[in-house]
A and B are shown apart, each in its own frame.
Chain A
Amino acid sequence: MNIIVCVKQVPDPQMPMASFKIDPATNKLVPTPGIPPVINGYDEQAVEAALRLKEANGGKITALSLGKELVSDVIKKPLSMGADELILLQDDAFEDGDDYVTAHALAAAIKKIGEYDLIICGRQASDFDSGVVGAGIGEILGLPVITIARDIKMTNGVIRVERVVPDGYEVVEASPPVVVTVSNELGQPRYPTLRGIMAAGRKQPTVWSAQDLGLDTTVSRMKLLKLYQPDKISQCEFIEGGSPAEAGVNLALKLREAKII
């Protein structure tokens, strides 16, 4: 089966708050020296899901990434984990695009790739957490979309997905091609093996521009007005009481007063 996995390079979410800087003039994040970006965590799980499917059914995995200033040893991680091919959509024209432009570009690239049974995305990206690109790709390509998967299987030509719901999971089936977004419930992504890294090192990613895809990138529908860090105010109040029980009662009263309980 042919699987396409969409992966995004994001700022390292583990970076200390103090290193996180925004340039108010451009409404952009200032890259932090010494803290390289990472692959979005959910997208690593999307790669993991694809690898499990490939192990079970055979096939080919193509990783697809749109971004600017992609760091080659970061963005090659899907290859080192075992993906077969990497396609990068790199173009200054994408830079100010919104999720709509991103979904359009990815969908155009997927069409250009041509053969696919399954498109896997992370449920959302840890930079802006919008969580709409997967669904957008499905919409543009006219494909069914199954979100927040914890398991994907392919049996007898049918894609079977366990999707996470608040009190458990539900099982959804669809005929390929479909778009599936995966969640962390899928489990830990594997570590790249050293042999995988060596193999990744020998592979050259394919790079496509907006023109290669015949794309109009001026279709943004969203305008970012202001990107800023909210002031973090922490207030701490100690609840007193003559005894632990009394302190407990006082805490409950306080919480009720604040309409929390």
Chain B
Amino acid sequence: MDIALSDNHLMIQRTVRDFAASEIAPYSAQWDEEGHFPAHIIAKLGELGITGLIFPSKYGGSDGDMLSLVVALEELAKVDSSVAITIEVLTSLSGPLLLHFGTEEQKQKWLVPMLQGKTIGAFALTEPDTGSDARGITTSAVLVDGHWAINGSKSYITNSGSSMTDFIIVAAVTGGDEAGKKEISNIVVPKDAPGLTVGSSYRKIGWRASDTHPLFFEDCRVPEGNLLGERGRGLAQFMKVLDGGRVAISAMAVGLIEVSLQMSLAHALKRRAFGKPLSDHQAIQFKLADMAVSVDLARLATYRAATLVDQGLPHKKEAAIAKLFSSEAALQAVDQAVQIHGGLGFMEDSPIARFYRDAKVLTIGEGTSEIQRMIIARELGC
């Protein structure tokens, strides 16, 4: 398997890096502090084509491969995880759900504007009473007079209440059999659907400039035609796109590890203690060496999973391995980065503090570390 980056990947990497350095990095601390969702940046990333990167040109995309998205997300996460997760959700969850399962009309209506950077879309599965256990959802949708009537609530939904939000794909129970097995379907709910209430933003410890809300549905009515794909295939659809999503989250983790290493190394070479640079102290050298190992292995696992996606080969286990390893390694890396920076690392004056806060959710979102282990074990045949 060849996982070398092509000219295209390198050009994408450089473009996103340049864009992030001049358009995002100077403002990230402020957006984070104010919990400000940078809509204009998402729109600009749309103009650049990052939002449409892996989608067919037929829908305004650039026909890029998964490895290109990985490279782009890595660069964004090195600077701003909030921007990265906003892009991740629409390129890896709501976008692919529409692309793979939507009708032509649904794609024209919701996918095309999103890929142009005019709108964003969310995917809502998690509920107050269930997250990892997706089958445990209770939000219901009942067909009445050609409309779905949706009741229930959703928690922690990214991209669901910003000025750019256009639609939310909602996983809902649409029926069940006598044995009690639930029928789960995905339904596209426009932002202005009657009966949908978007709760106020969560107060998060990380990803603070990303847009996360609880959602409440009270006889929320949407046309029958907003059903996505086949009725009852909701979980299967979600499982299909989620493997790709895990590779994308893994790429964000790689970005955080790399920036932790870069900043820690620069600091260690400069900062002196006991008459010599920190980098001359073996205890610090070992931390840096460990980070270098992490970034290499996390990146290799991520690129491998992305390459399998691109080659159309099975990648469930590899995506879970990449996500599990990279997100756990990112947690260690940001922790060590704060340690190497000393008191400075604990201060919001340094982006290291923000990276420290941003890393934690990587082991929770899109399947917790425990869930990744369950998947890997299942793939092993347990």
Q: Which residues of B contact A194 (CB under 8 A)?
A: 12, 15, 48-50, 52-53, 62, 64, 68
Asked if B47 and A197 sit within 8 Å, CB to CB, the answer is: no
Residues of chain A lying within 8 A (CB to CB) of residue B15 = 80, 191-192, 194, 197
- Establish whether residues B48 and A191, one from each chain, have CB atoms under 8 Å apart when the complex forms: yes
**Do A201 and B18 touch (CB < 8 A)?**
no
* B2-10, B119-127, B342-350 - the one binding chain A: B2-10
Tell me, yes or no, whether A73 is within 8 Å of chain B by CB: yes
B14 on interface, CB distance cutoff 8 Å: yes
Per-position binary interface string of chain B over residues 14-56, scored 1 when its CB falls under 8 Å from any chain A CB and 0 otherwise: 1100110000000000000000000000000001111011000
Cross-chain contact B19 with A197 (CB below 8 angstroms): no
Q: Is B193 an interface residue (CB 8 A)?
A: no
Asked if B192 is at the interface of the complex by the 8 Å CB criterion, the answer is no
Residue of B6, B14, B19 ringed by the most chain A CB atoms within 10 A: B14
Is A198 a contact partner of B62 (Cβ separation < 8 A)?
A: yes
Docked complex Cα distance between A109 and B11 (Å): 27
**Chain A residues touching B, majority SS:** helix
Contact B14 A73 (CB under 8 A): yes
Taking CB atoms, residues of chain B closer than 8 Å to A196 are 49
Most interface-central of A80, A192, A195, A197 (chain B CB within 10 A): A197
Q: Which of A72, A73, A194, A200 is most buried by chain B, counting CB atoms within 10 A of its CB? A: A194
Report B-chain residues with C-beta under 8 Å of the C-beta of A200: 7-8, 11
Binding site for B on A (CB under 8 A): 72-73, 76-77, 80, 191-198, 200-201
With CB as the reference atom, state the residue of chain A lying closest to B19.
A191
**B370 close to chain A: CB less than 8 A:** no
- A27 vs B57: C-alpha distance when bound (angstroms): 49
Q: Does B310 contact A (CB under 8 A)?
A: no
A183 vs chain B, min Cβ distance (A): 20
In the complex formed, the residue of B with least CB distance to A81 is B15
Interface membership of B104, Cβ < 8 A: no
**Most chain B CB within a 10 A radius of its CB, from A77, A80, A198:** A198
Residue of B nearest to A202 (CB): B8
Q: List 24 A-B contacts (CB under 8 A).
A: A72-B7, A73-B8, A73-B10, A76-B11, A77-B11, A80-B11, A191-B15, A191-B18, A191-B19, A192-B11, A194-B12, A194-B15, A194-B49, A194-B52, A194-B68, A195-B57, A196-B49, A197-B12, A197-B62, A198-B64, A200-B7, A200-B8, A201-B7, A201-B11
Q: Which residues of B contact A195 (CB under 8 A)?
A: 49, 52, 57, 62
Given contacts A73-B14, A192-B15, contact A198 B7 (CB under 8 A): no
Q: How far is the CB of B299 from chain A (nearest CB, A)?
A: 15
Residue of B nearest to A75 (CB): B7
Is B47 within 8 A of A198, CB to CB?
A: no
Tell me the nearest residue of chain A to B23, going by C-beta.
A191
- 4 other A-B residue contacts (CB within 8 Å) besides A73-B14, A195-B52: A76-B11, A194-B49, A196-B49, A198-B62
B64: which A residues are within 8 A, CB to CB? Answer: 194, 198
Report the interface size for chain B: residues with CB under 8 A from the other chain. 21
B218 at the binding interface (Cβ < 8 Å): no
In the complex, what residue of chain B is closest to A188 when comparing beta carbons?
Answer: B22
On chain A, the residues within 8 Å of B52 by CB distance are: 194-195
> In the complex, what distance in Å separates the CA atom of A183 from the CA atom of B71?
32
Chain A to chain B: the 6 pairs with minimum beta-carbon distance, closest first = A194-B49, A73-B10, A201-B8, A73-B7, A194-B62, A197-B11
Beyond A191-B19, A201-B6, whether A73 also contacts B11 by CB under 8 A is yes
Query: In the assembled complex, which residues on chain B have CB atoms less than 8 Å from the CB atom of A72?
Result: 7
CA distance A77 to B64 in the complex (A): 17
Min distance, Cβ A58 to any Cβ of chain B, angstroms: 22
| B63 interface contact, C-beta 8 A | yes
In the assembled complex, how far is the CB of residue B245 from the closest CB belonging to chain A, in whole angstroms?
20
Which residues on the B side are within 8 Å of A76 (C-beta)?
7, 11
Question: Which residues of chain A are within 8 angstroms of B11 by Cβ–Cβ distance?
Answer: 73, 76-77, 80, 192, 197, 200-201
CB distance from A240 to the nearest CB of B (A): 28
Q: How far is the CB of A197 from chain B (nearest CB, A)?
A: 5
When distances are taken between beta carbons in the complex, the residues of chain A under 8 Å from B63 are 198
Cα distance, A92 to B103, chains bound together (Å): 57
Note all chain A residues with C-beta closer than 8 A to B47: 193
Distance in Å: Cβ of A123 to nearest Cβ of chain B: 22
Tell me the smallest distance from the CB of B159 to a CB of chain A, in Å.
20
| Residues in B whose Cβ lies below 8 Å from that of A197 | 8, 11-12, 15, 62
| Min distance, Cβ B67 to any Cβ of chain A, angstroms | 13
* B236-289 at interface with A (beta carbon < 8 Å): none
Of all chain B residues, which has the CB nearest A198?
B62
State how many angstroms separate the Cβ of A48 from the closest Cβ of chain B: 14
Closest B residue to A193 using CB positions:
B49
A72 to B47, CA, bound (A): 25
Q: What chain A residues lie within 8 Å of B12 (beta carbons)? A: 194, 197
B49 partner residues in chain A, CB cutoff 8 A: 193-196
Q: Min CB distance, A77 to chain B, in Å?
A: 7
